A and B are shown apart, each in its own frame.
Chain A
Amino acid sequence: MSEVSPEVLSRGRGRRLFNATMVGLGGLLLLFLVLPFVALVLDGGPEAIWRGLGCALTWPALRLSLGTTLVSVVLVVVGGTPLAWWLARSRWRSARWLEILLQLPVVIPPAVGGIALLLAFGRRGLFGGVLERLGWTPAFSVVAVVMAQVFVSAPFYLQAAVQAFGRLDPNLLAVARSLGASPPRLFLRVALPLARPWLIGGAAMSWARALGEFGATLMFAGNMTGKTQTLPLAIYTALELDIHTAQALSLLLVVFAFALLLFLRHFNREAEVTRRLAAP
């Protein structure tokens, strides 16, 4: 295929000084970004890290983190997919405002989210009284862990899903309707399969955010080992006991994150293929 080869962009007059400046500035940032990971892997040696993994905090936190994030992602996808489908097709002006509002949890500090959750669903919160009368006090329980995760991670899925549905070829949807497809069939058989790669990508990002969730969980669910202490909170607690325990737990999260990035790359490639198919 005819593509401009990238080398031609860095040829010609003034290139030496220019290239040196670009490499120098970029290299500094690169070093800064990579060195902490090097330290995280190398510091103390494998034995110290292995011992750290054996700490009493590790397994309860790992179990809790994996369990709660799984539930969170399922809740986000089950509620987020219909919401995104509606938002993507709504011409209602308020829908655009709603989209902005729904992105708010991405940009506010997680601690603020935690306070907001506490004020809403805490025992003394706005709706806490109603919930308590129903015999349900979510704050400082495993339910609160999930609520905090859903709150901070849902926007990542919503954004991906709204974009995915918005990008669908309107002609395809029109044809499906003209062939006799009812709205449910249009959604289930055409829109969902076509948007699938982006939905999966969004769910993966959402899961990563839930797994790393710290601030809102600390405020709204507390830091109780075996009950509400997820991996990030366990790292915080371990830091006071032994830095190598904190290091080991951190490495665990890095491994998950890295696996996730590989997975996303795979799906981005699939998304790219589907996109090309959709617009031949």
Chain B
Amino acid sequence: MNPRLSIAVQAALGPFSLQASLEVGAEPLALVGPNGSGKTSLLLAILGLRKPDRGRIALSDEILFDADLAIDRPTEERQLAYLPQDFGLFPHLTAIDNVAFALACRSGRASIRRRRDEAMTWLERFGIGHLAQRSPARLSGGERQRVALARALASSPKALLLDEPTASLDVEGRVEVRAFLAESIRSLGLPTIFVTHDAMDVEALASRVAVLEKGQVVACGLLRDIRANPPTSFANRLLSPSTASPSSALQESCSSQLK
């Protein structure tokens, strides 16, 4: 049976309260909503980096958090891969040692050499074996994303949480990363939640969409259903087909030649 991530939490969140019930299986879920609507807070709650007041978070049969049963598993035991917006690579470690870090956390007994070998296998699987000795500062945005994903998967996670996976990239980087992520997520089959502000991310990566507004999940369903019947003006603006196509008027009004 495919793993499922079930979330039903309530937490204080500034002026309002975060209230969310979501079920995520093999179909990736996009979490959309305006700034301050609680998207990142929800990710942090799932990760165990922010404690909800009430509710329950479970990964298939495994309870990660349950307020009534007083269960609150620490982050390092939850086996959730988290990719923050800037990918969170450790700047003091090379690409290969970033991946080896994850392996060391999970299997402290293995020798450094065995961990390096395994890390190399991960990098090669993502087509970046030649970058193993580079420090993150000398990697492009797309390459960083690959190292971060290789590192996340090396820790054998049971679900994937991504915070604005393409936001910190330039336009070309976005296209590359999006295609790579779409393929990876599909082939992994792990429950995946990602926060985004980008309609093209939703289009390329998600099958389902949850719309957050002031901490509440106001709609959750298939992308085409949400698009056909957007619950908020934000969802309408983000997901309406016109936002996903480039404007031709913009091209006409610009010229690189000096007059």
**Interface residues of A, Cβ cutoff 8 Å to B:** 169, 171-172, 174-182, 185, 189-190, 193-194, 274, 276-280
Task: Determine if B6 is an interface residue (Cβ-Cβ < 8 Å).
Answer: no
**Nearest Cβ distance between residue A168 and chain B, in whole angstroms?**
11
Q: Residue-by-residue, is B46-89 near A (CB-CB < 8 Å gives 1, otherwise 0)?
A: 01110000000000000000000000001111111111111010
Nearest residue (CB) in A for B102 is: A179
Complex interface: chain B residues within 8 A of A175 (CB): 82-84, 88
What are 10 contact pairs spanning A and B, CB under 8 A?
A174-B47, A175-B84, A175-B88, A176-B90, A177-B48, A177-B49, A178-B76, A179-B152, A277-B136, A280-B137
Given A277-B135, A280-B136, A280-B137, is A179 in contact with B86 using a C-beta cutoff of 8 Å? no
**Nearest Cβ distance between residue A184 and chain B, in whole angstroms?**
11
Task: Determine if B234 is an interface residue (Cβ-Cβ < 8 Å).
Answer: no
Nearest residue (CB) in A for B87 is: A175
Task: Determine if B1 is an interface residue (Cβ-Cβ < 8 Å).
Answer: no
Contact B86 A180 (CB under 8 A): no
User: Which 10 pairs, one residue from A and one from B, show the smallest C-beta to C-beta distance?
Assistant: A180-B105, A277-B91, A175-B88, A178-B82, A177-B75, A171-B84, A179-B102, A277-B137, A193-B92, A180-B76
Contact A189 B47 (CB under 8 A): no
Q: Residue-by-residue, is B27-49 near A (CB-CB < 8 Å gives 1, otherwise 0)?
A: 00000000000000000100111
Q: How far is the CA of A180 from the CA of B74 in the complex (A)?
A: 9
Contact A178 B80 (CB under 8 A): yes
Q: How many residues of B contact A (CB 8 A)?
A: 33
Contact A274 B82 (CB under 8 A): no
Cross-chain contact of B90 among A177, A182, A190 (Cβ < 8 A): A190
Contact A278 B91 (CB under 8 A): yes
Task: Determine if B101 is an interface residue (Cβ-Cβ < 8 Å).
Answer: yes
Q: How far is the CA of A171 from the CA of B74 in the complex (A)?
A: 16
**Which of B44, B86, B92 neighbours the largest number of chain A CB atoms within 10 Å of its CB?**
B92
Contact A171 B88 (CB under 8 A): yes
Contact A178 B78 (CB under 8 A): yes
Complex interface: chain A residues within 8 A of B151 (CB): 179
Contact B90 A172 (CB under 8 A): yes
Task: Determine if B155 is an interface residue (Cβ-Cβ < 8 Å).
Answer: yes
Given contact pairs A169-B88, A178-B76, A179-B152, a sample of 15 additional A-B residue pairs in the complex whose CB atoms are under 8 Å apart: A171-B85, A171-B88, A174-B44, A174-B47, A174-B84, A175-B82, A177-B76, A178-B80, A179-B81, A193-B92, A194-B90, A276-B137, A277-B91, A277-B137, A280-B136
